[in-house]
Structures are given as structure tokens and as C-alpha cells.
Chains A and B, each alone.
Chain A
Amino acid sequence: MGMTMTEKILARHAGVASVSAGDLIVSQVDLILGNDITTPPAIVEFNKIGRPVFNPEKIALVPDHFTPNKDIRSAQMAKTVKEFARKHKIKHYFEVGRMGIEHVLLPEVGLVAPGEVIIGADSHTCTYGALNAFATGIGSTDMGAAMVTGKTWFKVPSAIRVELTGKLPKYVTGKDVILTLIGMIGVEGARYQSIEFAGPGVAALSMTDRLTICNMAIEAGGKNGIFPMDEITAAYLKGRVERPFAAVEADGDAVYERTVKIDLSALEPVVAFPHLPENVRKVKEAGDVAIDQVVIGSCTNGRLEDLAQAAEIFAGRQVHERVRAIIIPGSQTVYMEAMEKGYIKTFIEAGCVVSTPTCGPCLGGYMGILAEGERAVSTTNRNFRGRMGHIDSEVYLSGPYVAAASAVCGRIAGPEEV
């Protein structure tokens, strides 16, 4: 029986010839990730075991959620992470000033390669499937145990095949692809499953689009999202990944629970209404929704290409007088490149505020909390009740073009309306 991309990677890491959906396996891991919120409890669990880390080069610690420290308690947590990193000589610890949002940073610095197994104590670890890796979110106890053993347990997921054809029209992005898919299958449409992207449309998607798409696999309930490797992947990996790796392809007779077809050329800009990412509507059918805030950034849309799209809209225009527009580059490198390309200047001239890389408002941490009754259009990935602040505030999810156009119009708007 043939295997999916996910099954091939898991079989290899479990040291067996083949696996199939439903098998419980113990898998080697190539990288373990933690952040400033999830690592402190993982350290508590790690210490209970009382053994050293299995490999100080295969752990990445990225304080990004409440950093630069938002208050004393957050500072204590960041300090716990830093001291752990020092004590155990963790190679990939990213201090403020060198850090970025974890899922923007790790692929950027070459810590993700095709065929690898990456677990992270953060649900959006699934982002790395864009690079043909198996990557999934786990909890702090999992992280603590894996830092000792270098292994973790998995139930091999069954798979959904998403067959892509065509090419995205102007102003339609990876975010519109994944929101459209979640709108089609629902927030638990891929629960416990692997979402495997395939078809001729893959070649027409940039690496940024693929990272955005895999980032939100979890919002459909998925265990992971994964793309095949191609020339675009190879170009991205060049200069980032030196170590040997082994990409995987799905077998022709691999088993899928179902196939979903998406014609990229037929897609339009969309927005997900509160309070679930499946509440997807076309922007042109959104109606008149006045907004108070726009956030452009996060592990979903905080890359250079995302900022380029936002800058294209903001150039020569002004943020609406009623709106606060907050731009958050996903990493120091993204920030620097956006500056060199003039995007940062464009944003500030338009009346946006530009922040250092942080998760900040995405999870209602800081740097843009919503008051009661306020509405935000955000390029982040979750619009749950209270996610960005007050329990009676609202988050509408979109890509950067729509978010920027909405900032200019003061209401949900498409890029063609500005």
C-alpha cells in the first residue's frame, strides 16, 4: 500500500518500512521548539525527569509571545527560558534583538528542511510543512519529555488531499487559499488529519503563500499541512540549509480519506468573520463593517512579501482617521529588508505604527489590545471570542491586501476599492 508524504516521513523517523493511518508510533525528532509561554512549564516537567538534554543543537527556544517583556511576570518567564538555555548550552536560543516570531524565524534561519520531523510547543508549528517537513504542535509536557529522549509519540494521521490547479489572480494570496479551504471544510474538517497539498497549482504558489497556508492547517483541526518539494523550495533552502536532507513524495497509490479541489484562478479576496475562522465571506459581500484597528504581521502574514503587499496599498494613501494600523515585521531580517525596500517609510507616512517583531496583539498579549465593542481586521490566524482583547471585541481575518485596504477605508474593504 502506498504512503502519503506524512506517512513516509513518520515511517523513516520511527525506523520502520511503512506506517499507515491510525498506527501509534514512537518517532525521532529533528528539532524541538518552545516559546516564552510554553517553555517554562516544559522546564518544570524536564527537571522532574532529571536527565540531560538529548542534543543541545536540536532545541530552539524563541521568546516571542510577550517579548520584549510586557510586564514583570513575563520578564520572569523569559528569564527562566534564558537561564535554561545557558545552563544546557542550547545552541538556538534567540534573544530579543535577534529573535523573530518563531514560525517566521525558524525557516528563515535554516532550521527546517524537507523530510524532517519538527515538534513545537506551539500549535502553529504546522507552518513548516511548507518546506516538505512533518511539523506539528505539541504540549509543554511533550516538549519536556522530548528534550530528554529526542523522541515523541504520534498517532499516524489519515490524510486529506487538496488538489490545486490554476494560478492566483492579482490581489489574491495564500491567506485567501487557506481561508477558502477552511470555509469549505470547517474548523474541524481536518481534525487529527494531515492536509497534503498537491497538483499543478502548487508550482504557482510562492514560499510565503505556502507558509501562510500550512500555518493555518491547525485552524481546520489538522495535525499538519504539507507541500511537496519543488524548485521553489530548493531556491528557498539555498544558502539556508547546508545539512543533508531527504525530501518525500506521495506514492501514486497513497490512501486519502478524501480529495478537495481548489482552482486557484477562481478565488477572490476573502475575510473570516468572528468568532471562527470558518466564517468565510468574499470581501465584496462583507457589507459595511466599520473597524477600529488593523494588524498586519504574525506567524501567518509577517514575511517580506506580506509587507510588500501592504506597502503597495498604503503607498501614497492615508490610514483612515478612525483606525489604528499596527504593522509587525515577523523577524529582524524582515524588518531590515522592509526598511531597505522603503516599506517601513511608506507605512509611517501613511500613519501606521511599526513594531519590533513580537506576537503581541495576535493572542491579546499587548501592543494593540481591543477595547469593548472594538473591531479589528487582522492578518493573524484566530478570531476566537476575546482573542485580541475584550471578550466583546471582534477580529476579522484577512490577507495583507485586504487588511491594508480596510485600514485606508475605515471599514472592511478589498484592494480594488482604495
Chain B
Amino acid sequence: MKVSGKVWRYGDHVDTDVIIPARYLNIQDPVELAEHAMEDIDTTFAANVQPGDIVVAGKNFGCGSSREHAPLVIKQKGVACVVAESFARIFYRNAINIGLPVVELGEAVAGIEANHRLTVDLGQGIVTNETTGQAWTIKPLPAFVQELTSAGGLIAYVKEGGMA
């Protein structure tokens, strides 16, 4: 899988409360919920993000609550991939389960700025910053996680008889 898009850049410790504030958690419709994506950290995001765009952040992205609403609104908005220096574990797990691609890039994220163009080739394990020409290789996901992803997420995996 290969995606390419414009970068939305955020810093360290972006928590699930700013990704989707609790005051909206009484909304069950994902489309309506996604109108508030990233609202408490970036009021321009939900209105301007384009399908295929890529979110890039620093350390510990998605820390805090277990709310799956957080990766969900990012996916709902059409974001193709989230690249971070590191992820908080429940967010990382949720993203895998719902089929939102996530890439842990380590300190290399420092070279990526807002509005850069990034290409993430998950199959080859290469991230390229088209704007600066830099490229990095990424570790392939563990086999089990790849099985989940290629099944189309956890639910599809269980439907196919996984975890039996």
C-alpha cells in the first residue's frame, strides 16, 4: 500500500481529548463526529483536510483515553496515514484494529514540516519526503499485525475465523 499527501504537522503528546473532545462524545454518527476532529488543537483541520493527507506528529501521539473515536475521526476525514515519532499504545492498537495506517518513524519526523508532501510506501517500508528529497526505511509490521491489516481490520479477521 502506497499513499502520498500533504502534511498536517503537530507536536508532542497530542492527546485523545484534543483529537476529539469529550463534549462531542455523545455524537454517535461518525460523519458528524468527524466535523470536530482535532478541534482543540487545530480549528482549521476538519474543514480543510483533504482525503489522502497525512498527519505527522511528535512523541506519544494519541495519549490519554482509550476512545476509538480518536483514530476513527481521523480516518473518517480521509487521512491516509498517521506518522509520528512514537504512539501511545491504545491509539496505535485502535488504529490497527480499524484499518488506519500508522507509522512510527522515530526522530526522523523532525525533518518533516507542515505542507510538505510525504509518500508512505507500507509494502516497501519506505517513507519519502517529496519536498526535501529525504527518505527513510521503516520496520515492517509484525506478521500477526499484517494478517489483521490485510484481512481489513480486526472484525473482518474474526469473521474469517481468526482468534478461534
Partner of A41, one of B17, B40, B69: B69
For residue A41, which residues in chain B have a CB less than 8 angstroms away from its CB? 28, 68-69, 72
**Is the CB of B77 closer than 8 A to any CB of chain A?**
no
Q: Assess whether B155 is in contact with A191, with CB atoms less than 8 Å apart.
A: no
Bound-state Cα–Cα, A123 to B163, Å = 23
A interface footprint on B106-149 (CB within 8 Å = 1, 0 otherwise): 00000000000000000000000000000000000010110010
**Is the CB of A6 closer than 8 A to any CB of chain B?**
no
Q: Which 8 A-B pairs have the closest CB atoms?
A: A139-B94, A73-B26, A139-B68, A123-B66, A141-B97, A137-B66, A363-B22, A140-B68
Q: Assess whether A37 is in contact with B67, with CB atoms less than 8 Å apart.
A: yes
**Is the CB of A321 closer than 8 A to any CB of chain B?**
no
- Shortest Cβ distance from A386 into chain B, in angstroms? 5
- Shortest Cβ distance from A249 into chain B, in angstroms? 25
Q: A121-B66, A187-B60, A364-B22 are in contact. Are A386 and B17 (CB under 8 A)?
A: yes
**Is the CB of B21 closer than 8 A to any CB of chain A?**
yes
Partner of A24, one of B21, B145, B155: B145
Bound-state Cα–Cα, A382 to B88, Å = 15
Bound-state Cα–Cα, A355 to B98, Å = 37
For residue A276, which residues in chain B have a CB less than 8 angstroms away from its CB? 13
- Shortest Cβ distance from B53 into chain A, in angstroms? 23
**Is the CB of A171 closer than 8 A to any CB of chain B?**
no
Bound-state Cα–Cα, A155 to B141, Å = 12
Partner of B18, one of A38, A66, A385: A385
**Is the CB of B31 closer than 8 A to any CB of chain A?**
no
Q: A49-B159, A385-B17 are in contact. List 19 more A-B contacts (CB 8 A).
A: A24-B145, A41-B72, A66-B26, A122-B66, A139-B97, A142-B93, A145-B154, A145-B155, A145-B158, A153-B148, A188-B63, A221-B88, A276-B13, A363-B65, A364-B23, A382-B17, A384-B17, A385-B18, A385-B40
Can you list 19 contacts pairing A with B, beta carbon distance less than 8 Å?
A: A37-B67, A41-B68, A48-B155, A73-B27, A73-B28, A125-B66, A137-B66, A138-B93, A139-B98, A141-B155, A142-B154, A145-B154, A148-B158, A188-B13, A363-B17, A365-B22, A384-B18, A385-B17, A385-B18
Bound-state Cα–Cα, A73 to B145, Å = 35
- Shortest Cβ distance from B138 into chain A, in angstroms? 17
**Is the CB of B1 closer than 8 A to any CB of chain A?**
no
Partner of A141, one of B15, B68, B86: B68
Bound-state Cα–Cα, A73 to B29, Å = 11
Bound-state Cα–Cα, A149 to B162, Å = 9
What number of A-B contacts does a CB cutoff of 8 Å give? Answer: 134
**Is the CB of B89 closer than 8 A to any CB of chain A?**
yes
Q: Assess whether A191 is in contact with B159, with CB atoms less than 8 Å apart.
A: no
Q: Assess whether B68 is in contact with A391, with CB atoms less than 8 Å apart.
A: no
Q: Assess whether B40 is in contact with A151, with CB atoms less than 8 Å apart.
A: no
Bound-state Cα–Cα, A183 to B94, Å = 27
CB contacts under 8 Å to B, within A341-363, are 363
For residue A45, which residues in chain B have a CB less than 8 angstroms away from its CB? 154-155
Partner of A382, one of B21, B64, B69, B158: B64
For residue B66, which residues in chain A have a CB less than 8 angstroms away from its CB? 38, 120-123, 125, 137-139
CB contacts under 8 Å to B, within A60-84, are 65-66, 70-71, 73-74, 76-77
A: residues with CB less than 8 A from B are 24, 26, 37-38, 40-41, 45, 48-50, 65-66, 70-71, 73-74, 76-77, 120-123, 125, 137-142, 144-145, 148-149, 151-153, 155, 187-188, 191-192, 218, 221, 223, 276, 363-365, 382, 384-387, 391
Q: A141-B68, A141-B98, A144-B155 are in contact. Are A188 and B21 (CB under 8 A)?
A: no
Interface centre among B25, B59, B145, by most chain A C-beta atoms within 10 angstroms, is B25
Bound-state Cα–Cα, A154 to B72, Å = 21
Interface centre among B26, B27, B65, B72, by most chain A C-beta atoms within 10 angstroms, is B26
For residue B13, which residues in chain A have a CB less than 8 angstroms away from its CB? 187-188, 276
For residue A138, which residues in chain B have a CB less than 8 angstroms away from its CB? 66, 90, 93
Q: A386-B18, A386-B21 are in contact. Are A188 and B88 (CB under 8 A)?
A: yes
Q: Assess whether B144 is in contact with A24, with CB atoms less than 8 Å apart.
A: yes
Interface centre among A120, A152, A385, by most chain B C-beta atoms within 10 angstroms, is A385
Bound-state Cα–Cα, A364 to B39, Å = 15
- Shortest Cβ distance from B68 into chain A, in angstroms? 4
For residue A187, which residues in chain B have a CB less than 8 angstroms away from its CB? 13, 60, 63
Bound-state Cα–Cα, A137 to B68, Å = 11
- Shortest Cβ distance from B81 into chain A, in angstroms? 19
For residue B155, which residues in chain A have a CB less than 8 angstroms away from its CB? 45, 48-49, 141, 144-145
A222 nearest in chain B by CB position: B89
Q: Assess whether A386 is in contact with B27, with CB atoms less than 8 Å apart.
A: no
- Shortest Cβ distance from A111 into chain B, in angstroms? 18
Q: Assess whether B17 is in contact with A221, with CB atoms less than 8 Å apart.
A: no
Q: A24-B142, A122-B66, A382-B17 are in contact. Are A37 and B25 (CB under 8 A)?
A: yes
For residue A77, which residues in chain B have a CB less than 8 angstroms away from its CB? 26, 28
Q: A48-B159, A151-B163, A391-B40 are in contact. Are A384 and B64 (CB under 8 A)?
A: yes
A interface footprint on B63-105 (CB within 8 Å = 1, 0 otherwise): 1111111001000000000000010111001100110000000
